[in-house]
Chains A and B, each alone.
Chain A
């Protein structure tokens, strides 16, 4: 485990350039550049706002678009990283098989580039916050300055899962389908579209939501950006716990599978 962390430090430059490479390659030749990466969450935002404020108006929160946006961004960071990490290693088979290359860099690069997308979307979230404050439906609080800390904790959590999934996906080719379905399901079982404490959620439903490890993360961002409050201590502790378990398990699984990767890929 310690060697893995030391290697990671050595490879930070590698992870940085590969992330830059991915981002550049993705947006080279497209006029709107990174805004494409925002298109999906913005579209979701529009559709859900329409559905849950006009067609089916029971959101249980005043500034619904802002609330939605604050939850969709961390969710997209998680979902995008996890989905893409299923192919992180197999799509770079050449590197793993032909170059002396630390394979763990690959899922981490995926996480890093999704983190960059997340960070680039923050100004827009702040803009949305500004607009909502202007119409008097939200308050700005200095607690949003804590956001980077939560992002860091979430990054560690996501990185652990990405490490696990990327290496296991090489051995189990159908893991990708499984993950895709779980992620889709997970979206509705995470309080992104509705507040966790909505009165229409039955008690057993709240238990179910509490079992979802993404819940404290999403709830915390909503708390920072929409309600201007420091997240609950329970949520903070859960986040730290999940992040620790996830990253340790991630490296453990990856270490066990590492030696077989170049062979079975």
Chain B
């Protein structure tokens, strides 16, 4: 596959014409009476203005924003249902759009026939549908009703069938508009699982949704639209959070001397998923003044051996006392893979009050990672995910290992050999090993020192 972006939007604007005086439709009679066929709009509204971005192949791209911010217009432009007023849009690959599930179904016709009709509408040939038919029926779970007219289906079955057909088109690019909100819990999960599978297979996803968790968990990047303009683009967790801050209102803006906002939005983001700089954002009522990876004696660590006991220490400063707060940590490989993430809310701690500076310790009795570079994100946020202080890449550390095993995680294990074979353990497996335990701050080289000095100033 080429490295061309899957979707490239450049300087796209979309203006809707609004026709006042009751109706957007004109009648031929009135047009003839006025002797002009072209109806001039009373006003026009710019749904999208001068928007430019690219979505890379295989990327999951979230679009968030308030109602009326232009999200759905954007999706319809990309899908080709609408045409931009100005600017250019290039899409490379077969698109399937989940805008309204089952939009093409005819109620009087059986589910079986509707699958064929819908499939052909979405660009499949009859033979391609034959190949996919069983999978579609199975996914939709409509087995016994397959030959009943669709009008007898429950609304749940209807959307399931619509979703099933649309995702089995095997698109290169899947556009999703808020459709996961319909249907029951089980179906939503089934959909999300299917979408994740598609993402894994390299399908480019563009998701318009109000389910911010979905954007945070599924997407590689997010775009925040505000009144048709780009208000944010980049890391989904950060963009979602900025959005939440904005929705919560401007009063939260005052408190922080927080967060030197990363300036290199967008472009640089995808070139280098691992950035050595810390990213930090949040509203700042609570501040993580110190985040450190320590050994049992409280010394800062930057390199550890696999299986070392470690503690993530966080010191919290309180600018405004809070009742609703959650501490979270995440360990990431520098390729971006999340190794582990949790927070106090997930693990059932209910916050009641924080008034004065405090300390949180996340104690790991044995950090069984394989050799590699890792980073730790630490955050304190509200239960619904609005960040007080989010520190992405607060800590970077290296895991060294005696063994060149692969993967992410090393389970506690041993080998057992029985029967007629003989194996001898070699001692020279120990060569090239960084010290088995703990490199402390004092052992840092100059570069790491430079990095560590970048910690945000204390308030």
Closest B residue to A259 by beta carbon equals B83
User: Are A98 and B113 within 8 A (Cβ)?
Assistant: no
Residues of chain A within 8 A of B99, CB atoms compared: 98-99
**Cα A18 to Cα B121 with chains together (Å):** 9
Number of interface residues of B (CB under 8 A): 35
CB distance from A100 to the nearest CB of B (A): 5
Given contacts A13-B120, A100-B79, A263-B16, contact A25 B109 (CB under 8 A): yes
User: Are B28 and A21 within 8 A (Cβ)?
Assistant: no
Closest B residue to A178 by beta carbon equals B28
Closest B residue to A90 by beta carbon equals B25
| Stretch binding the partner chain, chosen from B100-108, B193-201, B329-337 | B100-108
CB distance from B170 to the nearest CB of A (A): 15
Residues of chain B within 8 A of A14, CB atoms compared: 120-121
Indicate whether A55 reaches chain B with its CB closer than 8 angstroms: no
Indicate whether A133 reaches chain B with its CB closer than 8 angstroms: no
Given contacts A13-B126, A21-B106, contact A262 B81 (CB under 8 A): yes
Q: Which of B83, B104, B106, B113 is A99 in contact with, Cβ under 8 Å? A: B104
Q: Which of B95, B103, B109 is A21 in contact with, Cβ under 8 Å? A: B109
User: Are A262 and B82 within 8 A (Cβ)?
Assistant: yes
**Cα A259 to Cα B108 with chains together (Å):** 30
* Chain B, 205-220, CB within 8 A of any chain A CB: none
Q: Which of A101, A171, A259, A262 is B25 in contact with, Cβ under 8 Å? A: A171
Residues of chain A within 8 A of B231, CB atoms compared: none
Residues of chain B within 8 A of A205, CB atoms compared: none
Q: Which of B16, B28, B120 is A172 in contact with, Cβ under 8 Å? A: B28
**Cα A94 to Cα B121 with chains together (Å):** 13
* Chain B, 1-55, CB within 8 A of any chain A CB: 16-17, 24-29, 31, 39
User: Are A174 and B28 within 8 A (Cβ)?
Assistant: yes
Interface residues of A (CB under 8 A from B): 13-14, 17-18, 21, 24-25, 28-29, 94-101, 171-175, 178, 259, 262-264
CB distance from A254 to the nearest CB of B (A): 14
**1/0 per residue B112-124: CB within 8 Å of A?**
0100110011110
Indicate whether B321 reaches chain A with its CB closer than 8 angstroms: no
Indicate whether B149 reaches chain A with its CB closer than 8 angstroms: yes
Q: Which of B28, B80, B83, B121 is A95 in contact with, Cβ under 8 Å? A: B121
What are the 6 closest A-B residue pairs judged by CB atoms, nearest first?
A25-B108, A98-B100, A172-B28, A174-B27, A98-B103, A259-B83
**Cα A100 to Cα B82 with chains together (Å):** 9
Residues of chain B within 8 A of A21, CB atoms compared: 106, 109, 113, 117
Residues of chain A within 8 A of B80, CB atoms compared: 100
User: Are B108 and A28 within 8 A (Cβ)?
Assistant: yes
**Cα A178 to Cα B125 with chains together (Å):** 39
